[in-house]
Amino acid sequence: MKRTFNYTNRKRIPRGNVQIALKKQEPNPPTFDARFNLSDLKLPPDGKVYVEAYYRTSYMRFDFGTVAEPGSEEDRTLRDIDNRELVYFRVKVTDATGEQGRLLAEADGLIANPTEGPGNHVCILEVKFEDLGNLPWSLEINDSATPTLVVNRRISNKEYVRSNAAFFALVYPAVVRELLTFILNGDHEYDPDGDDWRDRWLRFITALPDVDSPPEGEEIDPRPWIDTAVRAFCERQPACTAFLESLAAEEQR
């Protein structure tokens, strides 16, 4: 992996310091509540706080007051967001004096709880269903948000996607390989304690048996490490055995 440096001294807001609850109000678009604790980050009291909601190209920004006096806009309806089920959030603190708008701290790629609850929903792979024609599935990946497995809505069975051995064996190893290739070919520096979705994925993978820390440096070919990681993932499940047992069970019906 390539290394990057934070020359702006931007601080990371820990995900545990932010609570976002999504409130459905059908047939109208959902609204949300946001609470955060910024007291331990040593930010300027007059720093401006914003919460941004987004999905793909749709985006809304909400004023949440200052670090010392947090407060929110009364209307937090997500009317301009394209997806009512999967909405990402980021919290930003910007400089209110001197360099106007300079980013001081940020938490990105947050996914709200559907109702009030402790903390945010944290996962390493979201799943949604869309019209993909005859394409069974695809993967949405970008630097800022948790990756999403997009499944053809003609399947439209979340339990099947979650627990069917055949679907798992044929899809998830490819998903893991594609995600790890994206991460290791990018410019993200792995932080074992980080909150970024890429850090969560690498923690998950390196916790598997016989998987070392990811390689660092542009001169190192990441493909052998990725091969080892995908094999370890399949052994842990175990993907092939479960697939064959599923086929045998169907043949006996």
Q: Please report, rounded to a whole number, the percentage of residues in the chain having pLDDT higher than 90.
A: 38
Starting at the earlier edge strand, list the strands of the sheet with 148-152: 126-130, 148-152, 137-140
Tokens standing for residue 194: 């980080």
Residues 84, 53: Cα–Cα separation, whole Å: 11
Q: Distance between the two ends of the chain, CA-based, in angstroms?
A: 49
Query: The dihedral of CA 175, 178, 184, 188: what is its sign?
Result: negative
Residues 149, 32: Cα–Cα separation, whole Å: 24
Q: Please report, rounded to a whole number, the percentage of residues in the chain having pLDDT higher than 70.
A: 86
Question: What is the pTM assigned to this prediction?
Answer: 0.60
Predicted pLDDT at 119: 39
Residues 15, 251: Cα–Cα separation, whole Å: 47
Tokens standing for residue 221: 């070919």
**Which residue, among 104, 105, 117, has the nearest Cα to 195 in the 3D structure?**
105
> What is the number of other CB atoms lying within 10 angstroms of the CB of residue 51?
24
Q: In sequence order, which residues have a C-beta less than 8 Å from that of residue 26 and are 6 or more positions away?
A: none
Confidence of residue 231 (pLDDT cuts 50, 70, 90): very high
What is the domain partition of the chain in residue ranges? Answer: 11-111, 126-251
Predicted pLDDT at 117: 38
Condensed to tens digits (0 to 9), the pLDDT of residues 7-19 reads 457 888 887 788 8
Tokens standing for residue 79: 């009317």
Predicted pLDDT at 191: 86
Q: Name 110's bridge partners.
A: 89
Q: Answer yes or no: is pLDDT of 6 > 60.
A: no
Predicted pLDDT at 16: 78
Predicted pLDDT at 8: 54
Q: Answer yes or no: is pLDDT of 3 > 60.
A: no
Work out the burial of residue 97: count CB atoms within 10 Å of its CB; fewer than 13 is exposed, 13-18 middle, 19 or more buried. exposed
| 252 vs 112: which has the higher pLDDT | 112
**Which residue, among 248, 250, 228, has the nearest Cα to 240 in the 3D structure?**
248
Tokens standing for residue 252: 């006996």
Q: Answer yes or no: is pLDDT of 2 > 80.
A: no
Condensed to tens digits (0 to 9), the pLDDT of residues 88-144 reads 888 999 998 765 578 999 988 787 765 443 334 446 888 889 999 999 999 999 887
State the average pLDDT for the chain: 83
